[in-house]
Chains A and B, each alone.
Chain A
Amino acid sequence: MQSSNNHRSLWQRLFGDPIRAFGTLGVIILVSLAIAPAKNHFSEWRHYQNAYLSMIRGRGEAVTLQRHFEGGIQQIWHPELGVVDRCTTCHVGLKETSLTDVSLQPFRTHPVIPHKLDQFGCVMCHRGQGVATTVEEAHSSTLAWEQPLLPARYLESSCGQCHRQPLVGTPQLNQGRELLARSGCVHCHTVKLPEGGTMKGTDDPPPLLHIADKTTREWIFAWLKDPQAYAVSARMPNFKLSDADARDISAFLIANSTSASGDALSLPASVQKAADPTAGASLYGESFCATCHAVQNAAGNLVGGNIGPELTRIGSKAKPEWLAAWITNPRIYDPPTEMPHYRFSEQQVATLAGYLQAKTDSDFLANVHLEPATPEQIAHGKLLVTEYGCASCHEIGGIQKPENFAPELTRIGSKPISQLIFVAGMPHTLSDYIAGKLRQPRAFAPGLKMPQYSFTPAQVDALTTALLALNERSQTLPSALSVAAPPESHYRPAGKAGQLIGDLACLSCHRINGRGSDLAPDLTWEGSSVQRKWLEDFLRNPNTLRPALIRRMPKFNLKPDEITTLSDYMMTVYETPAFDRDSMPVSGYAPAEIEHGRQLFYSKYACQSCHIVDAKADKGYIGPTLTEVGSRLNAAWIYNWLKNPQSLRPGTIEPNRNMGDEDSHALTAFLMSQKGSAKQGAKK
């Protein structure tokens, strides 16, 4: 009662009579009219602009900075890209190169990048809300706007929206993309590329068609339970299977396996007996197995490459007859394998197989005791194999490769936060969600199938970067802005030589016409580069050109007719159209020119900093040794190489010296005079 009295009296006091009402209304209108200008006057951005002005006042170049300064709301507008960025309203000094020493934000100069700052605006790279004019709304996610600033550690993902080829300045993005292709992600998740097609896996999961020839059910069980317990570097993720599930899957895989002819090899007892273990270690070394395969040493470090599987405990896995057959010819078990078909003798096979078979770990299978499989277990195993999508990666007899087994990731980088389910206590951002999924995929909900990977923190960051680049913008960019990856090469060498190149898996190390690996020199123009006799000798007995390298071409024990086939093919097919191989003579250069070339080599161009011509005096261990270069390379190749090395092998680190005709000719004459001695061929 009292309060309603009060209320009434207040009302009467303000609006009791027309004059009072007029006065009150007038004040209300005046105040409400003042709200907008006051809001404007006290806005955050105005404070920052004023703070900027007082900061530059104390500096030497104040006048210049003052002249560049424009007050009011600033905007970068690119309607075709959907960019409306007002960030420069507060970030006033972005383009002022003289402010590099200022560490106070928002006034720092933008670091150097390859684009002009207003070319694409800010949110293209940094995300956030470009149109917002308050710190909170621009940088963080709010109810209406859910795009927060991209954390700096994932910034390279923004480059990946347009650039799909590897860039020098984006090592993390490059690594992430490589991991995406190599870790098996794309076997289950589809990633459509804007230029058409889908992302292909670069790993090569082994087929399981004949798995029973290769290994035991016990090993499969232990491997399924924890692949990394068998090999720390194993690529197969951990599916966290129960003992019963692992038992049933192993039962199914063994029961489902068919035998391949020639897949098991019983070596004559006489050969096996003669195999001595020390010879095994040296044959393993001589054959450069470590180029692709790693073995854990006593200190627990992996020594060797990561192209083939780790061999630390291979003896606990492989059946002896299978191992012997594999070493003899891996292409019988797995025709497209990256492993070369070494032409080992029976004795060598026995030596190497015996050496590898001794690499066992008695603990690994110690606790695995499996009862014989029942038909129910096998049937349940088959069900599990289908449920877990094993056939997405592995070829399994009688089971189709599933389509769209896991969610498509083509636009994962712009997935709305409202569609994500977060783990309690985790920041609600897309980047945290993706990184969390990569770390612990099963933590997000019960019953999820994605397996547990063992990525390092740096690998998680790299993968998250690559995934964030797969977003709406990357799919809908104007084609003029999109920089496509170089087209995938489907090059396949033809004919008899092509078969040999496939059998020896040359492309596992070398690249030819854009296809293959960069472990060893690109052979696209090898026919123009080398002399035929050298090539034949090299194929017969590869001698290293770079003494400091540990990875070298292995000896494949090729037969004479195979060497002829390969040499014929390489000398005729791998020729550059840029020059004629035989346009300059192999020898017969004037002594005066050779001497002039020698002086150029040692003084003007100081080639000895990287190359060795005089094995006693020179110490350059970076480039190939040149003591026998006159018997190895063609003169025309050397001449053209000297003039522009990158034109013949893009990316080579030999600097382009912009050499004139006369100097190139003299140096070619000098280098062609380096024929080496017959004895050096035998040196290691």
Chain B
Amino acid sequence: MKLSVSAGLLCLALMLCGCTRKQPSSSVPKPTATGVALVEVSGGKQSGSVGTSLAQPVVVQVNDEQGNGVTGALVSFRGPREVSFDPPAGLTDSSGQFTTNVSIGGMAGRDQLIASTPAKSGKTVDLKIEEIVLGYQEVVGRELSEQYCARCHNSESSAERVSNFDNLEIKPHGFTEGDTLNKMTDADLTAIISHGGPALNKSALMPPYGYTLSKSDIQALIAYIRMVSDPPYHAPGMLYAQQ
């Protein structure tokens, strides 16, 4: 009995934890160079709904000792189950960069991607890149945030959505500002969204949305804010679960 349980657990562990995907590497040409370091150029900390392709590709760069890009070095990507890369491996271009399109996983949360390149010393240099996977509730939150919040809370301006951020004397917090927002409890966030800034002695320019958004809308907004937070948000009382 015990044996079968532990065998089952082992199976489980094998199936579900060590689930790195084997990437076909047959089509990748032979590397002509190696570097000593691997750095992220762009494409990290994007968010998308479960299973979708990220809007921007992930770009990494292989550098030599002087920090200059190395051309022709091999870079390969791996990630949790269901994450796929197009292409999964290849050689760096003339500026030392390698670009891949990423389809994120099917579980809401954070996907840790690992880019690696063989270093001169014979060891492999790894680079961790994090992408954010939004579940249903977070997608609802994102859509509501785009509609109601982003005009003030996002300083980026576009022709379709002009940002009011620069016009406000007391600057609203961007939703990725984990250092500030992680300190606020769910109850705090609910209060400030429902009753406006004055509910927490904050700027009165933040209007109340309690009569505009439903309770589940507000929960979805909070779920979204928690999900995109940087550094990541950890709900209180969840620490023992790490074991």
Contacts and interface: CB of A to CB of B under 8 A. Distances in A.
A609 B140 contact: no
B106 A603 contact: no
A152 B105 contact: yes
Contacts, number: 134
A262 interface: no
B8 A51 contact: yes
B167 A111 contact: no
Interface stretch (A236-244, A407-415, A631-639, A649-657): A649-657
Contact of B107 (A103, A168, A605, A610): A103
A657 B53 contact: no
A54 B52 contact: no
Q: For the side of the interface on A, what is the size category?
A: 35 or more
A653 B8 CA distance: 53
A658 interface: yes
Contact of A153 (B52, B159, B205, B220): B52
B68 interface: no
Given A151-B106, A657-B211, A168 B101 contact: no
Interface stretch (B37-45, B59-67, B144-152, B178-186): B144-152
B205 A155 contact: no
A12 B164 CA distance: 96
A267 to B, nearest CB: 34
**DSSP majority for the A interface?**
loop
Interface in B115-149: 135-137, 139-140, 143-144, 147-148
B200 interface: no
B17 interface: yes
A155 B51 contact: yes
Given A104-B16, A620-B167, A111 B211 contact: no
A41 B1 CA distance: 9
Nearest to B159: A550
B55 A54 contact: no
Given A50-B8, A59-B240, A458-B53, A655 B136 contact: no
A144 B139 CA distance: 36
Contact of B136 (A111, A153, A548, A619): A111
A102 B242 CA distance: 9
A104 B204 contact: no
Contact of A101 (B107, B108, B205, B238): B238
Nearest to B157: A548
B109 interface: yes
A610 B151 CA distance: 10
Interface string B50-89: 1111010000000000000000000000000010000000
Interface string A601-643: 0010110111000000001111000000000000000000000
Interface in B4-35: 4-5, 7-9, 11-12, 16-17
A197 interface: no
Interface of A: 41-42, 47-48, 50-51, 54, 58-60, 100-105, 108, 111-114, 151-156, 168-172, 457-458, 461, 548-550, 603, 605-606, 608-610, 619-622, 646, 653, 655-658
Q: Would you list the 10 A-B pairs with minimal beta carbon distance, nearest first? A: A152-B51, A152-B106, A47-B8, A153-B51, A619-B167, A609-B205, A548-B162, A111-B135, A101-B241, A656-B211
22 contacts: A58-B243, A60-B240, A100-B235, A101-B235, A103-B107, A112-B219, A113-B137, A152-B50, A152-B106, A153-B106, A156-B49, A172-B52, A458-B52, A548-B162, A550-B159, A603-B204, A609-B207, A622-B151, A622-B152, A656-B212, A657-B207, A658-B211
